[in-house]
Amino acid sequence: MKAVLFAGDGAVRVESIDEPLITDPGDAIVRVRRAAVCGTDLHTVAHAEHVPRGTVLGHEFVGEVVEIGPAVSGHRVGDLVVGADFTACGTCWWCRRGDHWECSERRFFGTGASFGPPLAGAQAELVRVPFADTVLRPVPAGIGLDAAVFLGDTLATGYAAVRRAELRPGDTVVVIGGGPVGQLTSLAAQACGVGVVVVVEPVEPRRSLAGREGAVTTEPGTAREVVEQLTDGRGADAVIDGIGGPRGLETAFSLVRRRGSIVSVGVHTDSSWPMPVDCAFADELTLRFAIGNLMRDGEELVALVRSGAIAPTVVVSETVPLDAAPEAYRRMAERRTLKSLIAI
């Protein structure tokens, strides 16, 4: 079969490799119909300390079940399913609480050993899915492939951020970053009943998209002025950092109101950051982090998309065949496209 592989030195390539096999009774093999290139994929390729050459990349996928292990009871051959971007056993103490990310069986598709033991990714014709009854979710009628592929990570991340912020109806929410996660975070916040969403983004086409989809938009340099005008000088009730790193956190702290909340869902690579604890204490701020989780939030995510409350495909810039995936990676890394899908 063909797959997208990490080639080293920030590059990817498409090659033929052996097909995956059932290795555990709870496994399923899925024929991938749609995969996506994610910001995490770009990060994985650019910061590949834990990713050996030849790693099959990708963690956003939807496809058809073509084989199941003897312990799989929730799926049948021929089912159309979407996968979470990481695995969990579904039965341990953490999983029963909905904290699947903390499961000792966690493995993240297509990222080497960055987030647990390696697991081959889904930018391939076939992918092996451990703990299939937990990790896979049926795609109901009314949700197309291009929309379903977002349920496993990008939309799940935006929705997790909104949940983690504990927003109230009418709240003013700032989303830092107009990439795919930021755009879908904005849509999730609007669908969940907030008042105003402000998307802070330096790239004009991304601001335009956010504006067309219902957000107030601003460049970073004018963000504070815009937020103060909207809140009578108080600052945002919640700020969601969709870019990660010091820049995202520093911007968030500059825009949040006293007793407000900051939720960071951007990928962080620095081991530490000088948090302004004097300000955080005096202003009674809340800082949280969140990771998307289809296994926990699948019912709500499916309902939001199926009802039309959120249309995740608005962030799709292009759909390419598998052989063209390396060029899609380059265009996304250069910010020439917002989100690339791979039709397989």
What pairs with residue 14 in β-bridges?
4
The superfamily CATH assigns to domain 2-153+293-343 is: Medium-chain alcohol dehydrogenases, catalytic domain (3.90.180.10)
- CATH code assigned to 158-289: 3.40.50.720
Give the pLDDT of residue 199: 98
How far apart, in whole angstroms, are the C-alpha atoms of residue 68 and residue 192? 37
Stretch (H or E) spanning 286 = strand 286-289
Give the pLDDT of residue 268: 85
pLDDT digits (tens, 9 = 90+) for 148-190: 999 999 999 999 999 999 999 999 999 999 999 999 999 999 9
pLDDT digits (tens, 9 = 90+) for 54-91: 999 999 999 999 999 999 999 999 999 999 999 999 99
Flag whether the pTM goes above 0.85. Answer: yes
**And the tokens for 269?**
């690579």
How far apart, in whole angstroms, are the C-alpha atoms of residue 31 and residue 62? 8
pLDDT digits (tens, 9 = 90+) for 297-328: 999 999 999 999 999 999 999 999 999 999 99
Task: List CB contacts of 227: < 8 A, sequence separation 6 or more.
Answer: 172, 174, 198, 235, 236, 255
**And the tokens for 298?**
């699948």
Hey, what amino acid is at 112? G
Distances (CA, A) of 245 to 39, 110, 241: 14, 22, 9
Cβ proximity of 76 and 65 under 8 Å: yes
User: Which sequence spans correspond to the domains of the chain?
Assistant: 2-153+293-343, 158-289
Can you tell me the mean pLDDT for 231-257? 96
Judge whether residue 271 has pLDDT over 90: no
Lowest mean pLDDT among 44-48, 174-178, 212-216, 329-333: 44-48
What pairs with residue 37 in β-bridges?
340
